[in-house]
């Protein structure tokens, strides 16, 4: 089987990260989430704290327009924009493309589905669920009240949507961006992993 990449975008509380880890473990391939920022920090020499601050759950400057070169034009260290949010995104894009070229992997978030647009053997997944289901999970994980959990979900999903639109020009929850959209409330985590694994086997087993 040829190398392949599974990208996972997810609503907060839907279990997308958990499904990504389960899938990577089952297929015995690498799982990347915040590890992308760590690798980008190592490559660039830029503080990991700056990558965390510019992460997808953070804020982006909506009054600007991002030049969608996706890592092709990394700004050199002698320019003031070297540590800008856009250049941090470029470094992460570079890392994501390098991972896709060298190994099979599961990559969560960070617009990986769009960054790898046009690349071979990329399966794009969107994981979602009802608000009630997500609230239950967030209450369980963080010990919040249901009202607090709902506010947290709305805040993080809004930030992810804004981040995605800024860097891709597309809507984060548009089904046309993905090959599979899976509802964890209806399917459960294990069955979601089963479906993705089956899809991978159908697409890539003869490659």
Task: Give the pLDDT score at 87.
Answer: 85
Residue pointed to by tokens 């990559």: 107
Q: Which of 9-18, 44-53, 189-198 has the lowest mean pLDDT?
A: 44-53
Q: How high is the pLDDT of residue 53?
A: 80
Q: Strand, coil or helix: what is 142?
A: helix
The yes-or-no verdict on residue 166 having pLDDT over 80 is yes
Coil vs helix vs strand at 7: strand
User: Based on the number of CB atoms within 10 Å of its own CB, is 125 exposed (0-12), middle (13-18) or buried (19 or more)?
Assistant: buried
Identify the CATH number of the domain defined by range 5-204: 3.40.50.300
pLDDT in tens, 112-153: 999 999 898 999 999 999 999 999 999 999 999 999 999 999
52-61, 90-99, 151-160, 178-187: segment of lowest average pLDDT:
52-61
| Domain extents in the chain | 5-204
Amino acid 57: pLDDT? 56
Asked if 19 and 193 count as a contact pair (C-beta separation under 8 A), the reply is yes
Give the whole-angstrom CA distance, residue 90 versus residue 128. Answer: 27
Using CB atoms within 10 A of its CB, is residue 83 exposed (0-12), middle (13-18) or buried (19+)?
middle
- Rounded to the nearest 5°, which phi and psi values hold at 75? -75, 130
């Amino acid at each position: 089987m040829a190398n392949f990449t599974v990208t996972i975008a997810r609503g907060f509380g839907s279990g997308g990260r958990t499904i990504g880890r389960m899938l990577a473990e089952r297929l015995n391939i690498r799982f990347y989430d915040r590890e992308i920022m760590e690798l980008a920090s190592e490559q660039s020499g830029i503080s990991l704290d700056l990558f965390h601050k510019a992460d997808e759950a953070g804020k982006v400057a909506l009054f600007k327009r991002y030049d969608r070169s996706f890592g092709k034009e990394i700004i050199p260290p002698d320019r003031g924009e070297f540590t800008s949010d856009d250049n941090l995104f470029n470094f992460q894009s570079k890392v994501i493309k390098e991972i896709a070229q060298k190994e099979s992997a599961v990559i969560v978030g960070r617009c990986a589905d769009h960054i790898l647009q046009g690349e071979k053997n990329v399966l794009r997944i969107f994981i979602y669920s009802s608000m009630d289901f997500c609230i239950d999970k967030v209450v369980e994980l963080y010990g919040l009240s249901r009202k607090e959990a709902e506010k947290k979900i709305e805040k993080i999903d809004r930030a992810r949507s804004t981040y995605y639109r800024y860097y891709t020009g597309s809507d984060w929850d548009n089904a046309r961006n993905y090959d599979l959209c899976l509802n964890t409330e209806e399917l459960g985590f294990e069955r979601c992993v089963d479906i993705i694994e089956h899809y991978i086997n159908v697409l890539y087993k003869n490659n």
